[in-house]
Amino acid sequence: MSQDQPRKPPLEKIWDFFASVKLSFFLLLLLAVLSIAGTLIPQKEGAAAYVRAYGEAGWRFISALGLQDLYHAPWFVLIMALLAANLVICSLNRLSLTLRILGKDPAQEAGAMRKAKDSFNLSGEPGTNLDRARRVLERLVGPSAQAKDQERTVLFAQRGGWSRFGVYVVHTSVLVIMAGALVGNFWGYAGFVNIPVGQSVDHMTLDNGQPRPLGFSVRLDKFDISYYPNGMPSEYRSEVTFIDGGKETQKSSLIVNDPAEYQGIDFYQSSYGNDLKAMEVDLVRDGKKQRLTLKARAINQLPGGAKAAIQGWRERVEMGAMYKGPVARILYQEAQGEPQAYTAFTPGVKMPQPGPIKFEIVKLQTEPYSGLQVKYDPGVWFIWVGCTMMVAGFFIAFYFSHRKVWLRLGPAGQGRTRVEIAGATNKNRLGLTRLLSRLAHELGGGPKKAE
């Protein structure tokens, strides 16, 4: 630490702030704590659900902070960006140190032997033992360098220096994964298509409700559900054909867990159901019935200037003993009058109705459809590359170490050689101790056995 610390240029201060491990520690735990909040508050619900759960004031607080979509809130993304900056600057700071360590001249390192951990005498002059010692050292550790220490000779070898890069592989992998998420966010899109059997679509509906052209058509040829003997569904399968420029270009079979890809766009089996085309209803007024056919997703002009539309429907509802069957919500407007909503059931049901008329469901015209999730995500390969890098980096960072070994051979008198062994490592001292005792054993020093 320098004496005139307060006079550091501001840029350097910012750099030091981002280079600190304390900041990484703080940001990692902060992200953990904030993520907990996101698992306690239900995410991406409608406003009404929050008002019900937390009250009007609670909802104002939640929406002001963006807690209803916490993981995409600007401040959450900002904290992740800070972590990324911290990661980059921290790593760059350390990288220069690592490069300096790895760039050291071996001959110079040979001259800077550490404190000896082990020593023993061998028969024969140092000159005769030197070659053998070098061979053993090079076999167990790596290429050697040599230095003179008065009348003694020091041999130096190292191995696993590359493992110092493991931590950078891991840190880079985090950045690659973050980049993948960003790429997916900016250039990817997701939504769904519901395709009735035998028909084709050329548009998808994005998650925000907007339509988007696919650039080709998808036709649903067949939809199948198979069941286990106990009645549980075992497989949903959609057979589809991709049609490009009027030509059938690809046939695919989609099941859950096995999507199909066409021109980089992935299709996932996600749901199925019946789509309403039209509904036959009876308009009942003073006991008289008038049969009408109402088209779905349309305003139906009725004889006499009235209008009707199907607002919503369910193929089957169960209201205890009262009712089991289809239900529809019909919006109806007389030629002169206000629109009024009616709930329609099958005939013969005693249900309170608002007003003098009621609707009875006669027939539903539905067709089965298969619901496919549609996704284009150019960032997904970044994610898999990042994940692979991360796991590989962990193995390098945790299970390999940079070991340095010194052997000093000098005269021990009476024609014998004094051997001293020293070592250094950046981690896993136990592994180094084993390496040194194996080295001593192979050189013929003492009864130590290699573990």
- Nearest CA among 77, 59, 55, 79 for reference residue 67: 59
User: What whole-number distance in Å separates Cα of residue 108 and Cα of residue 422?
Assistant: 16
- Please identify, using beta-carbon distances, which residue of 256 and 322 lies nearer to another protein: 256
Does residue number 395 form part of the binding site for another protein (CB under 8 A)?
yes
Binding mask 39-58 for another protein (x = CB under 8 A): xx--x---------------
Does the protein bind another protein through residue 73 (CB under 8 A)?
Answer: no
136: nearest Cα among 409, 430, 412: 409
Binding footprint of another protein, residue count (CB under 8 A): 46
Q: How far apart are CA 278 and CA 284, in angstroms?
A: 19
Structure tokens that stand for 232 in this block: 């549980």
Angstrom distances, CA of residue 163 to CA of 29, 145, 392, 400: 27, 21, 11, 6
Q: Give 32 or 48: the residue with its C-beta nearer to another protein.
A: 32
- H or E stretch at 175: helix 166-187
Residue 398 touches another protein, criterion: CB under 8 A: yes
Q: Is the Cβ of residue 75 or residue 395 nearer to another protein in the bound state? A: 395
Assess contact for 404 and 424: CB atoms under 8 A.
yes
Residue 22 CB, shortest distance to another protein, in Å, is 9
Q: Which stretch binds another protein (CB under 8 A): 157-165, 305-313, 326-334, 393-401?
A: 393-401
Helix 10-18 × helix 74-102 angle, to 10°: 90
Our finding on whether 80 is near another protein (CB under 8 A) is no
Taking residues 143 to 182 in sequence order and writing x for each that binds another protein by CB under 8 A, - otherwise, the string is --------------------------------------x-
Is 208 among the residues that bind another protein (CB under 8 A)?
no
State the DSSP H helix or E strand holding residue 180, giving kind and residue range, or none if neither.
helix 166-187
CB of 19 vs another protein, minimal distance in Å: 12
- The verdict on 116 binding another protein (CB under 8 A) reads no
Contact 242, 216 (CB under 8 A): yes
Q: What DSSP string runs through 43-108? A: PS--HHHHHHHHHHHHHHHHHHHTGGGGGGSHHHHHHHHHHHHHHHHHHHHHHHHHHHHHTS-HHH
Would you say 147 or 254 has its CB closer to another protein? 254
Q: Tell me which residue has tokens 């009027």.
A: 246
Closest C-alpha to 425, from 445, 406, 448: 406
Q: Does 351 bind another protein (CB under 8 A)?
A: no
Q: Looking at beta carbons only, is 264 or 337 nearer to another protein?
A: 264
270 binds another protein (CB under 8 A): yes
Asked whether position 190 contacts another protein by CB under 8 A, the answer is yes
Instruction: Decide: 413 and 103 in contact? Cβ < 8 Å.
Output: no
Q: Which residue among 261, 430, 434, 446 contacts another protein (CB under 8 A)? A: 430
Please, which residue, 126 or 393, has the CB nearer to another protein? 393
Per the document, the length of the chain is 451
Range in contact with another protein (rule: CB under 8 A) among 277-285, 337-345, 388-396, 413-421: 388-396
Between helix 166-187 and helix 380-399 the angle, nearest 10°, is: 170
Task: Report the C-alpha gap between 261 and 269 in whole angstroms.
Answer: 12
- Does 391 help bind another protein (rule: CB under 8 A)? yes
Range 358-387, binding another protein (CB under 8 A)? 373-375, 380, 383-384, 387
Distance of CA 18 to the CA centre of its chain: 25
Q: Which of 84, 302, 390, 412 binds another protein (CB under 8 A)?
A: 390
Under the binding rule (CB under 8 A), the answer on residue 31 touching another protein is yes
Window 224-263: contact mask with another protein (x via CB under 8 A): ----xxx-xxxxx------------------xxxxx----
Residue number with CB closer to another protein (122 or 372): 372
Binding site for another protein (CB under 8 A): 21, 24-25, 28-29, 31-32, 35-36, 38-40, 43, 71, 181, 190, 228-230, 232-236, 255-259, 266, 268-270, 373-375, 380, 383-384, 387, 390-391, 394-395, 398, 430
